[in-house]
């Protein structure tokens, strides 16, 4: 499917959770037949998650490429060991697919003469930091999840026209990373004896407040929002100012979400109906507060209040 005349592209971000190998294979085989334009592949959260090795990721990448998808290899967010640097270097030197750098060490490994994508965890918050990374080879940047539309637009307006801007538009937001593993702590297991216990939780482990309000999701060393970001209404209105809308994979309904977003951008369905249908795939409700300069957990109906 050509996206030349479409208002924006749809991307699928790297898998955040720890799934069994066969589940991952089935998931990406399903994604091959969707209308997603860009697929990010790779382990970004924890290097102990080794259901896929380098050759597995490359095999999936080749299959997606054959189906007409743009493929990007994503690096770890938090690098703690020499072995992790070695694996990151292998990704950066793959010679075929563009790399999403999620840590400044990846930017350094790319050497300043290789085009790359700046992930949200590079934390590009202003024109100066964006300009520095463009000089290093950046050709696309992913806006931080907490960035409002007005700030994103102001930063993007100062970049060269060919630099793409990608916005996180669906999924639980990755909020923070730590050297500690929250899943093992919750289960009272030593981190170095984790036995990949996070594989038990296909969409992470829910964390509630003392008032029993579902607040965050624990996912290994990562904490995520309990609510699902949904910017479908904002992108349907045409007031987004970005080139790409990113979806985070989830255990159920990812392909359906891609299909619904594709309907919106093609104006092939009733917008209100499609957006309401999407909300059914958010297990703990939707939010868009950060985009509107409000608390992230809020959902703002008025798309003009940016």
pLDDT in tens, 250-294: 999 999 999 999 999 998 878 889 989 999 999 899 999 999 999
**What backbone phi and psi angles, to 5 degrees, belong to 136?**
-90, -10
As a dihedral over the C-alpha atoms of residue 58, residue 59, residue 64, residue 65, rounded to 10 degrees, the angle is 70
206-235: string of b/e by CB count within 10 Å (b at 16+)?
Answer: eeeeeeeeebbbbbbbbbbbbbbbbbbbbb
Q: If you average pLDDT over residues 99-125, what whole number do you get?
A: 94
Q: If you average pLDDT over residues 147-162, what whole number do you get?
A: 91
Does pLDDT of 43 surpass 80?
A: yes
- pLDDT number for residue 3: 43
Burial class (CB in 10 A: 0-12, 13-18, 19+), 253: middle
Burial class (CB in 10 A: 0-12, 13-18, 19+), 292: buried
Does pLDDT of 306 surpass 50?
A: no
pLDDT in tens, 237-249: 776 779 999 999 9
| Residue that has been written with the tokens 């992790």 in this structure | 84
Name the residue among 69, 269, 282 with its Cα closest to residue 169: 282
Q: In the chain, what are the domain boundaries?
A: 9-172+229-284
Instruction: Confirm if 112 and 134 have CB atoms less than 8 A apart.
Output: no
Please give the DSSP secondary-structure letter assigned to residue 258.
H
| CATH fold of 9-172+229-284 | TIM Barrel (3.20.20)
> Which residues does 232 contact at the CB level (< 8 Å), separation at least 6?
169, 170, 260, 261, 264, 274, 275, 278
Does pLDDT of 161 surpass 90?
A: no
Q: If you average pLDDT over residues 68-73, what whole number do you get?
A: 98
Instruction: Confirm if 299 and 288 have CB atoms less than 8 A apart.
Output: yes
């Amino acid at each position: 499917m050509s996206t030349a005349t479409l208002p924006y592209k749809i991307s699928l971000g790297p898998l955040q959770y720890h799934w069994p190998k066969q589940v991952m294979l089935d998931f990406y085989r399903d994604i091959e037949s969707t209308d997603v334009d860009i697929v990010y592949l790779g382990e970004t959260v924890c290097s102990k998650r080794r259901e896929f090795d380098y050759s597995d990721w490359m095999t999936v990448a080749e299959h997606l490429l054959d189906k007409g998808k743009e493929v990007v290899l994503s690096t770890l967010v938090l690098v703690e060991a020499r072995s992790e640097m070695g694996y990151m270097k292998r990704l950066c030197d793959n010679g075929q697919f563009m790399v999403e750098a999620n840590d400044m060490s990846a930017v350094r490994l790319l050497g300043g003469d290789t085009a790359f994508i700046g992930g949200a965890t590079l934390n590009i918050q202003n024109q100066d930091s964006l300009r520095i990374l463009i000089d290093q080879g950046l050709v696309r940047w992913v806006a931080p999840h907490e960035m409002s539309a007005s700030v994103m637009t102001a930063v993007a307006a100062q970049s060269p026209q060919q630099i793409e801007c990608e916005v996180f538009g669906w999924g639980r937001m990755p909020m923070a990373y730590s050297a500690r593993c929250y899943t093992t702590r919750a289960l009272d297991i030593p981190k170095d004896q984790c036995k990949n216990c996070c594989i038990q939780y296909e969409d992470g482990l829910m964390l509630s407040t003392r008032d029993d309000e579902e607040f965050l999701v624990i996912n290994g060393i990562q904490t995520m929002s309990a609510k699902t970001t949904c910017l479908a209404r904002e992108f349907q209105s045409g007031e987004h100012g970005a080139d790409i809308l990113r979806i985070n994979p989830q255990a159920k309904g990812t392909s359906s979400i891609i299909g619904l977003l594709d309907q919106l951008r093609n104006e092939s369905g009733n917008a209100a109906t499609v957006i309401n249908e999407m909300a059914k795939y958010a297990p703990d409700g939707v939010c868009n507060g950060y985009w509107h300069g409000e608390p992230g957990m809020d959902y703002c109906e008025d798309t003009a209040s940016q």
